Structure 1
């Protein structure tokens, strides 16, 4: 993970909701992984909240941006329309623009501070630099202290709105892929029945310890990895193997957390809990996949860092050249303009869109991506080899043929269905 990612983690820890949203979201995924086997996805319950906050912030800023842009003198001059002569008109853009800078710009500004502290300039510093220079220059122009060409209220408003849109899109896509972690966490039961003496006590799976013996009832899920000490059952282990056919487990056999005893009860001695279980290992893989940055993101991070230094260098050269020419006023105007337009609008929006499309399509197709770099390289794949025990299946057993020794096939099917109506067995 790059230094830029770590800066995002620190800001997320500080309770801020802005950033290059995909990276900011990773901190929550890490928490989900650490939550291990807490049922219900508690580790990433706040993920949707972050998406909601980004969505609300974007729409509020978009509404504020309309009057800021419409009443901006520079924008009116650009499109060639006249603003009313009233004094209050001239203060609409500065006042609402200040609200946008302080409120909508906070995520970028806090991110810029973190990047400065970590000495890793990137996208946040570029955005923070652009909106800060635009804000100060625009106030200077509005107050008559600087040239009127430095009135950038409309640019400030659009920049904040566009960047918030990009971050919201990426956060939303990552929140949707988090459903993979939700599904894994939901495989654990809410309660476990621990044997204590001659009775059973209901406890949370998180309270189990290695050596405890638990009762698994017919149709119940195993709360933690263990070894069967009494009984036998047909176990549905499709969540681990992908194989829909049940496997018989009896005394001494190992069972995995999240698998289902389909037809009879078991007593299981716990051999692994928390992060040592197979399910926790799968969750860790999912978390690492979502934390991994794609090559496109890495290129964007490097491009943003290079662009930051390029923008500063270009601004300094601009200031020196125009001052040497003998036009210090123009030097200020053009130097500030360079710093404002250096912010990569397209870069801030394109990468989140790419990540969003890729992760959403993969999630909809039920594909678990271990590494985003692998996802990018899949475009060159022309052959797929399946390493599968038995045959490839749909995961849902079906009756494909009935061959009665004597009698009517439909009557036989009706009798079989009647006998299996109340059964928990997957083949029923």
Structure 2
């Protein structure tokens, strides 16, 4: 299981691992529920403060770099102008020293952290490069060695590093904003009952045993047990099925479910760490710890580059000294290797692509938990969908209306039914009212409204007694149902009586999402077979499968059987993605190669999934596959540019073509910067590919 291999190590910033920098900025109940902290020289600042710190260091160092570059004799010689004055060199040394200490501090402390864990990496090589450039430049400035200082390379190098790290962290942090949409599934406040007094309190202040009032239409604020009241509760986001569940005393309710037409008093049974919000925060923290396979490859490459660069630098120094060259030349070659081999391009090759793709994905409604799964979305050959709440809307819509009263048109009939159903919070009633609003109908006035518990509603309309009731009411009253009322097993039918005579009926069903067909077609066009696994009966499943033209359907399956569906496809050699929204989908989501949870679904489904569809649109899944392919392609391109540059530049920096060609430190620094710019620009092109 991919989740078991996630790296849950410490969160120190010492390795500057940008795959770990997505920090939740979600607010709930007036506070921030979770903040990741980074050590290694940052004093435990939260992520927002660390981003601001990098930006502040960049601007200060950039301003100071202007005179350092302008006053540098090497830069003047390179560009072709002269600018000299008394105390120029001491001034440059002072400014460069400040830039080295202040701007280089994150990298220097990062090196210390890497060396403590005996895992030298990018931070070590960056620190060695800037330290070598600084030390050599100081020695030259004081006249202890002949040569030209590297202060301008040092300043620009640190500027580039700070800006690159800021942009990466800023981009990655943007993805966490999509969490706010998920957290909105829970209310911030609850109506706490204390005797005869009801007060509004923050949800996170509730204790075990407290009693809360849940009014009609409100979301359940916390897991609990009903102590008073009866109501239908819509748990489609929890169970994956759209039929409301009747709740009464001693029944349990789950946070996030939507209360129906009745008021409930609920005793709190779960809080704190078991709350939905904290589970979401933990989910993101796990994502911060997780590295993709490509990121791991880049980290290994950066580690090897560090060792190679350090070794080549020292060997270069010794080789030129043994060859009889002067110390200044040998040191210059060593420093050139260090500056040229700075692994910034390699360091940003993957994280920058991840940052951009994660941010764009979040804007498109994809919250990525497992980056490896995101990259591997390109391998998907079979997609298994849950039905309710995934391919369908998870709420009732009007399918058919039949009017049996002469001289009454459908609009008049529907407006009358909607007028009766308007006060109700029941999903069926809401479906009828939505249909009336969609048709822009004017609803007549009603009086003497009565609720017939579990059977329907009654009211006076234009002097007539009108009832909207269930089939059970007709059966009890001995009224024969119209023979064509039930056209499909997927429908729920309510009947309308006027003065005790049947006047017609309205058939409702869980509607297929508008973009489900487009999503299925696009997936099939890309060579992916599309299946559906649902707990609904075969007749309903076949009807949906036929309309969407699926490659296969599995009906009346239990949660453990959904897992078997995924396993069977995997045994056939398929790379399987599973999409679902309920607790019943969680085991299959975990079993699949790529688990995709619908964002409007449950916290359990979200925790077992690799990717969450915040907007619950099936077409977002096709975007996921396309984004995964584009992201992986861009990562490979960047690795090629970053490693290819070093393969060519390091030998030239060491002087293998001397005396025919010698790579100067200035040109080496320019090439290093150019490789970083190329990698960064190539990563930015991802925005076009993911539009």
TM-score by length of 2: 0.53
Taking a change above 3 Å as real, the CA distance of residues 256 and 229 of structure 1, as seen in their structure-2 partners, is same
**How far 1:377 moved relative to its partner?**
0.8
Higher RCO (CA < 8 A, seq sep 6+) = 1
What does residue 104 of structure 1 align with?
103
Contact kept? 2:33, 2:278, Cα under 8 Å: no
| Number of matched pairs | 411
Report matched runs for 1:271-420 at 5 Å. 271-277=269-275, 280-329=278-327, 330-389=329-388, 392-393=391-392, 407-410=408-411
- Tell me how far 1:418 sits from its aligned partner: 6.8
Structure-2 separation of matches of 1:51 and 1:424: 46
Please, which runs of 5 or more residues in structure 2 have no aligned partner?
Answer: 1-5, 37-45, 434-691
Q: Which residue of 2 aligns with 1:15?
A: none
How far apart, in 1, do the equivalents of 2:175 and 2:77 lie? 45
Distance 1:153 1:410, change over 3 A: farther
Contact 1:235-1:259 within 8 A present in 2 as well: yes
Query: Cα deviation per residue 1:316-359 (whole Å; 9 max; x = unaligned)?
Result: 21122122122241222222222232211211332221111221
| Alpha carbons of structure 1 residues 395 and 290: separation in structure 2 relative to 1, 3 Å | farther
Alignment of 1:9-48 (within 5 A): 9-11=11-13, 19-23=16-20, 25=21, 28=23, 40-44=31-35, 46-48=46-48
- Residues 301 and 213 of structure 1: CA distance in aligned 2, closer, same or farther (over 3 Å): same
Structure 1 CA distance, aligned partners of 2:425 and 2:151?
65
Match of 2:590 in 1: none
Looking at CA atoms only, which structure, 1 or 2, has the larger radius of gyration? Answer: 2
Query: How far is 1:40 from its partner?
Result: 4.9
CA distance in 2: counterparts of 1:270 and 1:97, whole angstroms: 61
Give, in angstroms, the shift of residue 270 of structure 1. Answer: 2.0
Aligned CA distance change for structure 1 residues 68 and 297 (closer, same or farther; 3 Å): farther
Asked if the contact 2:302–2:347 (Cα under 8 Å) also holds between the matched residues in 1, the reply is no
Distance 1:342 1:248 in 2: 64
CA distance in 2, matches of 1:246, 1:56: 55
Cα drift, residue 412 of structure 1 = 5.5
Alignment of 1:155-304 (within 5 A): 155-237=153-235, 239-240=237-238, 245=242, 247-251=244-248, 252-277=250-275, 280-304=278-302
Work out the CA distance in 2 between the residues paired with 1:372 and 1:260: 32
Match of 1:57 in 2: 57
Distance 2:178 2:357 in 1: 15
User: 1:153 is matched with which residue?
Assistant: 151
CA drift at 1:236: 4.5
**Separation in structure 1 between the aligned mates of residue 126 and residue 424 of structure 2, nearest angstrom:** 61
Root-mean-square deviation (CA, aligned residues, Å) is 3.5
TM-superposed deviation, 1:416: 6.6
Q: Which residue of 2 aligns with 1:71?
A: 71
Match of 1:209, SS state, is coil
TM-score scaled by length of structure 1: 0.82
CA distance in structure 2 between the aligned counterparts of 1:361 and 1:112, rounded to whole angstroms: 32
Distance 1:349 1:146, change over 3 A: farther
Please state how far the C-alpha of 1:21 moved relative to its aligned partner: 4.2
Matched-pair contact (CA < 8 Å) for 1:20–1:167: no
Distance (whole Å) between structure 2 residues aligned to residue 262 and residue 39 of structure 1: 27
8 A Cα contact 1:184 1:283, kept in partner = no
Cα distance between partner residues in 2 of 1:396 and 1:160: 56
Hey, what's the Cα distance between the residues in 1 that align with 2:304 and 2:214? Answer: 59
Query: Distance in 2 between the 1:420 and 1:183 partners?
Result: 30
Relative to structure 1, the CA distance from residue 127 to residue 397 in structure 2 (aligned partners, 3 Å threshold; closer, same or farther) is farther
Q: For the structure 1 residues 47 and 231, does the alpha-carbon distance in structure 2 shift closer, same or farther, using more than 3 Å as the test?
A: farther
Instruction: Give SS of 1:368's match.
Output: strand
Distance in 1 separating the partners of 2:236 and 2:137 = 62
Whichever structure has more strand as a proportion of its residues is 2
